[in-house]
Structures are given as C-alpha cells and as structure tokens.
Amino acid sequence: MPYEGLNLNGQTALVTGSGRGIGAALAVGLAQAGADVAVSDRPDRLDLAKTTKSKVEAEGVKSRAYSLDVLDISRIPKAIDQVVQDFGRLDILVNNAGIRIPKPALEVTEEDWDATIDINLKGVFFCAQAAGRYMVEQGYGRIINLGSQLSVTASRGRSSYCASKFGVAGITKVMAVEWAPHGVTVNAIGPGPTSTPGMLAADARTADEVQADLDAHLPLGRRMDPEEMVGAVIYLASKSSAGTTGHLLLVDGGWTAI
C-alpha cells in the first residue's frame, strides 16, 4: 500500500501573503499535495493573489482569492469565517505575510519598528488565533507560522526583524502547548535567505557584497528558491507531523550550523 501520510486530499488550506514569493510557492505546493487552497493578500496586491489562484486551480483543486491585510485585525476573523463558508472547512493555516525593513539599530524609527512588529508578529498571532478558534472546535488543525533563521540568531541591520521573528518562535510554542489537547498542532518554518521580490527589493548591497555575505554564512553558497520551502510546509501540514508541535523547522541552507 502506498504511503499516504503526506497526502492533503480533502483538506483546505489558507495561505496569507500568497500573491508572490514564498507564499505563492507554498500555495501551489499545497495544491500539488491535494489541498484546496484559499489564497490571500492585501488589497493592493489582490491581482497577484488572483494569479496565484489560477496556478493553484491548474493543479486540479479548488481555490479562491481573498483581500486580507493582516494589519486590519478586525477583518481577520471575518476572512476566516468566509473561507470556512466557501470551502466548508479550514484544516491548514500558513501564516506567511511579512515584511523586512533593514536598518542599523541606531537608525530604526518608531514607524519602522511598529510596521515590522505589527505585520510579522501581531498579524501572525491574530490570524492564528482566528483560525485556532475554529480548529479547536473542529478538533483538528495544522498552523504553520513563517519564522526565519533570524528566529534563533542575529544579523546586523535586522533589529526589528529579529524581534518579530524571535516573537514568532515564542508564540508558536505557546499556542502549541495550549492547543495540543484539541488536536491542533502549531509549528513554524525558518527560511534562510531566499530569492523573493521583497528580499531583493530591500537589499541595497552590491552583488559582490551579497556574495561575500553568502559565502560567510551559508554553506549552501547561494540564496534558496521559494519552492525549497514547500516540502517542510507539506510535512507540517500533513498527518505525518501529528507528533510534531511547537517546533521551528529551519530551512536555512546551513546558516545556523556555522
């Protein structure tokens, strides 16, 4: 009999910030594993989310695109309710939406700090809370938060980002402990440097400076592709990970091994 542990047939996933980058790759990857996928992004990127929706549907599963800005906390429960209404259930939440504002600590403004924490940490918490309420009642669920290799280590120019991603690792553990008795696992993945539009746009360094940094920190010797995050998320979204909760799964190219 073939191993069915990574099969997501009959399940519904919601991926936030899935208009492009890692989020889009994860939405398509979950569809390839058999899940119906709700994609979402903020209103000004809804067209990108609709493009991802088309790619998901091309895998032969159901998809819908939703306008969801995780800064609008009051909108989050309504979006979760709408997904459940449209799909009949919600089994998997991937909290992907996030930003980075790289600046030396002496130059970080209150606006920079608030924007990073509000999206990367506050938004993740309240999306997980809204989905968690439904999953706890359902008696089953998989929540996967997007942390970083900077959830466990530091990097120059990343004070607010590190604070937010350390926080993601912390709330992941708390929710895992609270919701485990209800059949809901809560985990995180920690991507290392990944070639996404957001990362590339935020990087003002020269190509030589970037490569020198990669050579110093990454045994892999290169940035990763968004698709390289898919396997970790499918595992954590599947029944194979039933015994795994409160865990940060690093997909960091060896960054933290040095």
Burial environment of residue 164 by CB neighbours within 10 A (0 to 12, 13 to 18, 19 or more): buried
Contacts of 116 (CB under 8 A, 6+ apart): 99, 100, 101, 160, 161, 163, 164
Which DSSP symbol is given to 2? -
Question: Going edge to edge, which strands form the sheet with 248-251?
Answer: 63-67, 36-41, 12-15, 92-95, 141-146, 184-191, 248-251
66, 134, 161, 235: the catalytic one is 161
Q: How many Cβ atoms are within 10 Å of 92's Cβ, its own excluded? A: 26
Cα radius of gyration rounded to whole Å, the chain: 17
For residues 162 and 32, give the distance between their C-alpha atoms in angstroms, rounded to a whole number.
32
Three-state SS at 94? strand
DSSP assignment of 22-46 equals HHHHHHHHHHHTT-EEEEEE-GGGH
161 is catalytic: yes
Measured CA to CA, the distance from residue 86 to residue 76 in angstroms comes to: 15
Active-site residues, by number, are 161
